[in-house]
Structure 1
Amino acid sequence: MFASKSILTTWRKFDNFSMDTLTKAWYYQRIGQAFQRNVSLMKEHREQFGVAGNCFDLAIWLLEEFKSDGMKAYPIGHELGTEAAHVAVIAVDEEGHRFLCDLGDQWLEPILIDKSAPDYSNEKLAGFFPAAHVQVIPKPEHVEILYFRPNGKVSNQRYITNPVPLSDFIIAANSSQKTFKQEPLVEIRTPHQDDMAHWEFGHWRSFLSTNQGVIEDHPLSTIEEWTERIHAKTGYNGQVIREALMFYRQMQKS
C-alpha cells in the first residue's frame, strides 16, 4: 500500500534534498556556536546556499510541511542524545494508516508500517529504498525493516514508533548539532539509468549504490576536488562545502 496523495504531495517537496553533516559544520564555523536551526532559517540557507542538513534538520522541516499541509505527523527516534541518534517522521493519512517517512536515510517513498494493514510482511518490496528491496515487520511499539542488497547482503534497522515529545526532540536536535564525528557525510538520491540510486560520500570516498550493485567513484585527494564532486552531486554552494571539509580535516589532525 502506497502513501496517500496528501502525504506524497508533502514528501515530494524534498525530492532533491540531500542528507549531510556538512551544513552544521559550516554554520558552526560561521556563527561560532551550534544549535538546531528553525525551519525559517533552514529555508533561508536552502535558498542562498542550496544546503539541506542532517536527519534532525530534515525531520523538523518535514514535520512543519506536514503541519502546513494539514496532515497529522509526529517525530520518532532512537538513541537520542548520542552520536548514534537517528530520527524520522510518522505521517498519518486520512484513514488513520501510519507511514514511515525517513529523509535522513534517503528513502524514496513513505512506507506503510501498520500491523493492522493488509499483511505484506513477508514480501520484499521494491521502489521504497534506493538500491535495495525492503521487508517490513510491524510490532506493537516498533517496526523492523530488512534491507536486501543486490550482492545478497541483508541488513536491518529498528524504528521505535512511539511519538517523541517535541520538547525532548528539540533537546536531542540541539545535542546532535553540537556533535561532530571526525568523518563528514553526504547522501543523496539520484537518477541512474531508469531507476533511482543512492550516492554517498563518507570516509573520504564516494560511491553509487544501484540495483545492479555498487559503483565506486575514482579516488580524490584534495579538498578542492571533493568540493567540485560534492557540488556536482548536490548543488551545494562550493564555499560552504569547502569550509565544512576543511573543518573536518582539521578535526582529524587535532
Structure 2
Amino acid sequence: MNAPEEILKVWRKFDHFPMETLTKAWYYQQNTASKQRDVSLMKEHREQYGITGNCFDLSLWLLDEFEQEGIEAFPVGHDLGTPDAHVAVIAKSEHGYRYFCDLGDQWLNPVLIDSDCEDFHTDKLRGFFPAAEIQVNAEGNVLKVQYHRPNGKMSQQDFVTTPIAITDLWKAAEISQNTIKQRPLLECRIPFKDEIAHWEFYNWSSVLSTTQGLYEEPATEDIKQWCTRIHNKTGYDKTMLSEALHFYKSMQ
C-alpha cells in the first residue's frame, strides 16, 4: 500500500508542515483583498515566519508541487463553502492507481485507495496515521477510513473522491480563509520514541497522541507561554504567533 517513490518524494517535502488556523487569523488581519494566499506567497511566509496554513493552503501547495513534478493530482473534499469544509489531494501513480494524500489531517503517508490493485488491503494498517491504525474501503466515489486507536476507540471519516474543479477549490478556499472560528487549532507530527506522534493545540489546551496513549500538557491561559510552547514544536515566529493568538483571545 506504500506510494511509489515519485509520489513520496513530493509528500516528504511536507513532513514538517503543521496544519493550523493561526496563519489564517494572522493573515486575516492584513489589508489584502484576497485572504487565500497563492503558493508563491505561502512559500515566502514559510521562509520568513516558518508558517504553513490550513487544509486549503496545504492542498493548494501540494497540488502545485505535484504539478511541477509532472504527477497527475486533483483536489477532493467535503462540505465546501461551510465552516466544516475539508480538502485533501489524490495523486495518481504512473500506472494510474490513486493515492489519498491528506496533509490537513496530518497523515504520515499517502494511502492506496484502488481495490483492484494487488497491493490494496482492507485489514488494519500501521504507519499511515499518527497514533492509530487505519482501514480503508473505497465504494464508488466514497472513500471510507476507519481509525483504530490504542484505547480501543474507533472512528470513521468519509471522503468523496470526485475531483473538485480548481475554480471551485479557490472559491471554497476564499470562503474558508474568511471564516474564523473562535477556537485556535494547530496540529503537527513530531518524533516520539520510536514513532511519529501527533501534537495538537486546540482551544487553549495541548495534548500529545501516541500509540502508548495520550499525554496532556499543563494548562495555561498565558499567551506568551503558548507562543513559546508552539514555537518549540513548530519553529513558528513568536511575533506572528502572538498576533494570531491575541486575535483569537479578542473573539472570546
Q: TM-score, normalised by structure 1?
A: 0.97
The amino acid that maps onto 1:93 is S
Name the structure 2 match of 1:203: 203
Q: Quick check: 1:21 aligned with 2:9? A: no
TM-fit CA distance, 1:32: 5.7
For residues 55-102 of structure 1, give each alpha carbon's deviation from its aligned partner in whole angstroms, at most 9, with x where no partner exists: 000000000000001100000010000000000000000100000000
Flag structure 2 segments of 5+ consecutive residues without an equivalent.
none
Distance (Å, rounded) in 2 between the aligned partners of 1:115 and 1:220: 47
Q: Quick check: 1:4 aligned with 2:1? A: no
Q: Which moved more, 1:113-122 or 1:13-22?
A: 113-122
**8 Å contact 1:28–1:34 — kept in the other structure?**
no
For residues 191-247 of structure 1, give each alpha carbon's deviation from its aligned partner in whole angstroms, at most 9, with x where no partner exists: 000100000000110000001111111111211111110010010000111100000
Q: Which moved more, 1:66-75 or 1:24-33?
A: 24-33
Name the structure 1 match of 2:105: 105
Name the structure 1 match of 2:85: 85
The amino acid that maps onto 1:226 is W
Q: Quick check: 1:217 aligned with 2:223? A: no
**8 Å contact 1:122–1:135 — kept in the other structure?**
yes
Name the structure 2 match of 1:138: 138
Distance (Å, rounded) in 2 between the aligned partners of 1:239 and 1:32: 20
The amino acid that maps onto 1:90 is I
Name the structure 2 match of 1:67: 67
Aligned pairs for 1:26-175 within 5 A: 26-31=26-31, 35-118=35-118, 120-175=120-175
Name the structure 2 match of 1:249: 249
Distance (Å, rounded) in 2 between the aligned partners of 1:29 and 1:7: 35
TM-fit CA distance, 1:34: 5.1
Distance (Å, rounded) in 2 between the aligned partners of 1:34 and 1:228: 30
Q: 1:224–1:32: structure 2 CA closer, same or farther, 3 Å change rule? A: farther
**8 Å contact 1:183–1:202 — kept in the other structure?**
yes
TM-fit CA distance, 1:35: 1.6
TM-fit CA distance, 1:24: 1.1
TM-fit CA distance, 1:122: 3.2
Q: Does the residue aligned with 2:57 lie in a helix, a strand or coil?
A: helix
Name the structure 2 match of 1:238: 238
TM-fit CA distance, 1:29: 1.3
Distance (Å, rounded) in 1 between the aligned partners of 2:109 and 2:120: 16
Give the ranges of 4+ consecutive aligned residues of structure 1 lying more than 6 Å apart after TM superposition: none
Q: CA RMSD in A?
A: 1.0
Distance (Å, rounded) in 2 between the aligned partners of 1:116 and 1:85: 30
Name the structure 2 match of 1:228: 228
Q: Does the residue aligned with 1:145 lie in a helix, a strand or coil?
A: strand
Count of aligned pairs: 252
Distance (Å, rounded) in 1 between the aligned partners of 2:160 and 2:240: 34
Flag structure 1 segments of 5+ consecutive residues without an equivalent.
none
The amino acid that maps onto 1:161 is T
Distance (Å, rounded) in 2 between the aligned partners of 1:249 and 1:118: 51
